């Protein structure tokens, strides 16, 4: 139990911030809760012997992606929405089904618990950045290259989607409504 | 070091909270953040198994999930900006017609 203290502390933080994210009325608070959630999960990654992934999590997720989220929330001014329920009973059904999923998955994990011994200690320089880099550029070269194509397509797609269609007319001031 | 299934249990709880967020919230941006939470839950399970089997393949998979998630967020948020321009709202309940 004493050895697991770190895990339990961060598990509580992870679950608490996830609930805070899902239940906050204000989308800004949701985003900030999610940043804290990503940071705590990154600490769990370090504990699991994945320092490279933990650093990528902090820089890519908690840094870049969440900044993008906050930027769009503030750009749209969409912090809060009116409370409406278009489908009657949808909330109750969602809660029931979500709870059923938690119970089902927990039962499966408990029944199939497998070894209850602590995780084995990592061998030598397992998952050191050099190790990760070697694997990435030897065994996973093709997926790595495909990733660059995906990122390029996403970038072009984002630019095309957010471009305003109407060309500015001559003589009108540059500050358009959109 | 905690046993493997502690991490899997935490992953299940995170994934379920993500599902509830997607199903319960109206704000499309919060729905999107819940999706990210579910990605994260899957990543945690990958990393835990990677440690359990002492294999780097799980960590590589997490790396690729992260890049695809980044691409998805860029396109998704661009879509949201476009939807907001035409409908003046990102309430998912109001996106019920094909014609803008």
pLDDT in tens, A10-20: 999 999 999 99
Is the pLDDT assigned to residue B93 strictly greater than 70? yes
Q: Do B66 and A117 touch (CB under 8 A)?
A: no
Residues 42..101 of A with a Cβ closer than 8 Å to B: which? Answer: 44-45, 47-50, 52-53, 56-57, 60-61, 64-65, 68-69, 72-73, 75-76, 78, 81-87, 90-91, 94-95, 97-98, 101
**The three-state (H, E, C) secondary structure of chain B, written as one string:** CCEHHHHHHHHHHHHHHHHHHHHHCCEHHHHHHHHHHHHHHHHHHHHHHHHHCCCCHHHHHHHHHHHHHHHHHHHHHHHHHHHHHHHCCCEHHHCCCCCC
pLDDT tier at A82 (50, 70, 90 boundaries)? low
How many of the other CB atoms lie within 10 Å of CB of B37?
Answer: 28
Whole-number pLDDT of residue A178: 46
Phi–psi pair at A127, nearest 5 degrees? 65, 25
- Which residue has better confidence, A116 or A131? A131
Q: Which tens digit of pLDDT belongs to each residue from A134-171?
A: 888 999 999 999 999 999 999 999 999 888 766 655 55
Mean pLDDT across B60-82: 91
CB-based contact B43:B62 (threshold 8 Å): yes
Q: Do A109 and B12 touch (CB under 8 A)?
A: yes
Q: Do B43 and A41 touch (CB under 8 A)?
A: yes
Residue A114, phi-psi category: left (phi > 0), alpha (psi -120 to 50), beta (remainder)? left
pLDDT tier at A176 (50, 70, 90 boundaries)? very low
Spatial neighbors of A159 by CB under 8 A, at least 6 apart, are: B78
Measure B67 CA to nearest chain A CA, in Å.
7
Mean pLDDT across B56-61: 91
What is the average pLDDT value for chain A, to the nearest integer?
83
pLDDT tier at A113 (50, 70, 90 boundaries)? low
**The three-state (H, E, C) secondary structure of chain A, written as one string:** CCCCHHHHHHHHHHHHHHHHHHHCCCHHHHHHHHHHHHHHHHHHHHHCCCHHHHHHHHHHHHHHHHHHHHHHHHHHCCCCCCCCCCCCCHHHHHHHHHHHHHHHHHHHHHHCCCCCCECCCCCCCCCCHHHHHHHHHHCCHHHHHHHHHHHHHHHHHHHHHHCCCCCCCCCCCCCCCC
Is the pLDDT assigned to residue A86 strictly greater than 70? no
pLDDT tier at A23 (50, 70, 90 boundaries)? confident
Given A78, A102, A119, which is nearest B90 (Cβ)? A78
Is the pLDDT assigned to residue A79 strictly greater than 70? no
Given B20, B54, B84, which is nearest A120 (Cβ)? B54
Residues 136..175 of A with a Cβ closer than 8 Å to B: which? Answer: 136, 139-140, 143, 147, 150-151, 153-155, 157-159, 161-162, 164
Q: By percentage, how much of chain A surpasses pLDDT 70?
A: 81
Q: Which tens digit of pLDDT belongs to each residue from B10-36?
A: 998 899 899 888 888 888 889 999 999
Global model pTM greater than 0.90: no
Measure B20 CA to nearest chain A CA, in Å.
6
Given A110, A147, A158, which is nearest B64 (Cβ)? A147
Phi–psi pair at B27, nearest 5 degrees? -75, 120
Is the pLDDT assigned to residue A111 strictly greater than 70? yes
Is the pLDDT assigned to residue A127 strictly greater than 80? no
Regarding an ipTM greater than 0.85, the answer is yes
Question: For residues B73 and A154, what is the distance between their CA atoms, to the nearest angstrom?
Answer: 9
Please list every residue in chain A whose beta carbon sits closer than 8 Å to the beta carbon of residue B65. none
Mean pLDDT across B56-68: 92
């Amino acid at each position: 139990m004493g050895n697991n203290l770190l895990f339990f502390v961060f598990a509580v933080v992870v679950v608490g911030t996830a609930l805070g994210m899902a239940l906050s009325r204000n989308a800004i608070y949701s985003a900030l809760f999610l940043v804290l959630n990503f940071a705590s999960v990154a600490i769990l990654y370090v504990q699991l012997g994945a320092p490279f992934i933990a650093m990528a999590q902090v820089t890519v997720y908690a840094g870049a992606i969440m900044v993008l989220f906050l930027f769009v929330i503030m750009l749209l001014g969409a912090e809060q929405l009116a409370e409406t329920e278009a489908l009657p009973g949808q909330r109750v059904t969602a809660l029931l089904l979500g709870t059923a999923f938690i119970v089902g998955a927990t039962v499966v994990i408990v029944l199939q618990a497998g070894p209850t011994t602590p995780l084995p200690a990592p061998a030598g320089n397992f998952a050191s950045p050099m190790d990760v880099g070697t694997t990435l550029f030897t065994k996973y070269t093709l997926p790595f290259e495909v990733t660059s194509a995906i990122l390029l397509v996403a970038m072009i797609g984002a630019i095309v989607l957010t471009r305003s269609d109407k060309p500015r007319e001559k003589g009108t001031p540059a500050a358009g409504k959109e | 070091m905690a046993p493997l299934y502690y991490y899997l249990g935490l992953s299940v709880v995170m994934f379920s909270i993500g599902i509830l967020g997607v199903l319960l919230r109206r704000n499309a941006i919060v729905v999107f953040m819940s999706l990210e939470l579910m990605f994260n839950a899957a990543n945690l399970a990958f990393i835990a198994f990677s440690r359990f089997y002492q294999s780097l393949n799980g960590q590589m998979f997490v790396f690729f999930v992260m890049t695809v998630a980044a691409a998805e967020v860029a396109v998704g948020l661009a879509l949201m900006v476009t939807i907001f321009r035409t409908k003046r709202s990102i309430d998912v309940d109001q996106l019920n017609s094909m014609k803008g």
